[in-house]
Homo-oligomer: A and B are copies of this chain.
Amino acid sequence: AAAAGAQAQSGSVQVFGLLDASVQMLKASGTERRYFLNSDGNTSSRFGVRGTEDLGGGLKAGFWLESAVTVDDGTSGATSTNNKDSVSGGLTWGRRATLQLSGPWGELRLGRDYVPSFGNLTTSMHPFGTNGVGSSGLMFYPVPAGGTTARTQVRASNSIGYFLPAGLGGLYGHAMVALGEQGPGATRKDGQLQGVRIGWRNDGFNASAAVSKTRYATGNYTQSNVGASYKWGPARLMALWGENKIGVTKTTATMVGTQWEVSAQGEVRFAYTQLKARNVASDATHIALGYVHDLSKRTALYGNVARIDNKAAGVRFNVGLATTLPGGNSGGVEAGVRHSF
């Protein structure tokens, strides 16, 4: 085995990754308790290779190849070649596969990458980001409707992205066009995405608004959201509003929460979310409490507990195990360890 030395170098290639494994218990109204060895309760597991090259004159070239890893069974994640159908099977660089050129004018990024509106669902605007039983995705991802299962609430393939440069006094921005690459005819723009995110941050404050729209023959999909966070002593207070529209259906979610530093190593996380549904599913609420304990910069232990309550006749929303009872709930507990390299 050859060791990849730990020093950072200009022009170097980095092998990087993160693994997160937890023991999870789930229970929903009308079901029995189930136990899982689970990945990604705190942060998404990944394996990748990336690097940059300084071309002189402020210009840089870079690349990024990143694959999902399911630590419990060694499988990887799916991708989509047209932002419409899901393609899985073995390792793909489905988390990110990009080639970028950057300069004083910003960064041009080509390939598979996060869509602009995903930026507000991460730990910068939601205490739990998109992981575990407290995941923002449970309320802020779209509900499939009318034959449309959106593939672009997180990433898009065939994308051309532009990022504003640093040094604009806290202003940041991201615009993206991604092609569906369909054949001619009525569905020729199937899977085509356009999105933009604009935000501003300083030492303690961060706010951002974004919208991404994907054309689908079975119903266009629009993801909009606005997030804000404010560091108030040991607590980072967070608020997030998001809306997902597919055709005539709509879900709108509002979250308030915090990441609270309770010690040099420990952080408590809390989030409460209300979801309103129109023409699809029913209203629901999501409450989540978590704790992350750093063993080092690279390794942490964590625990999460959360519950989703479906309203009226709803059975749709859950933390991993769907209820079988109208208006039923779904809850889960997990304890795990996260390690990055």
Contact = CB atoms under 8 A, between A and B. Distances in A.
Interface of A: 1-9, 11-17, 19-21, 23, 31-32, 34-37, 47, 49-51, 53, 55-56, 59, 61-63, 65, 67, 69-76, 79-81, 87-99, 101, 110-112, 157-160, 178-179, 181, 183-184, 188, 295-296, 298-299, 337, 339-341
A298 B337 contact: no
Given A99-B337, A158-B36, A61 B21 contact: no
A9 B80 CA distance: 38
B55 A65 contact: no
Contacts of A36: 158, 179, 181
A157 B178 CA distance: 36
B296 A55 contact: yes
A97 B17 CA distance: 13
Contact of A96 (B51, B74, B93, B183): B74
Contacts of A67: 74, 91
Contact of A62 (B56, B339, B340): B339
B15 A72 contact: no
Nearest to A60: B299
Contacts of A178: 37
19 contacts: A1-B16, A1-B50, A2-B4, A2-B341, A3-B12, A5-B5, A19-B65, A19-B97, A36-B179, A37-B179, A61-B298, A72-B97, A72-B110, A73-B79, A73-B97, A73-B158, A74-B94, A91-B92, A99-B337
Nearest to A56: B296
Contact of A74 (B21, B23, B157): B157
B160 A23 contact: yes
Contacts of A31: 184
A18 to B, nearest CB: 9
A145 to B, nearest CB: 25
A315 to B, nearest CB: 16
A180 B101 CA distance: 44
A interface secondary structure, majority: strand
A211 B202 CA distance: 59
Nearest to A160: B37
Contacts of A63: 17, 19, 339, 341
Nearest 4 A/B pairs, CB to CB: A90-B90, A1-B16, A89-B89, A74-B93
A189 to B, nearest CB: 11
Contact of A21 (B11, B37, B111): B111
Given A32-B184, A61-B295, A73-B112, A2 B19 contact: no
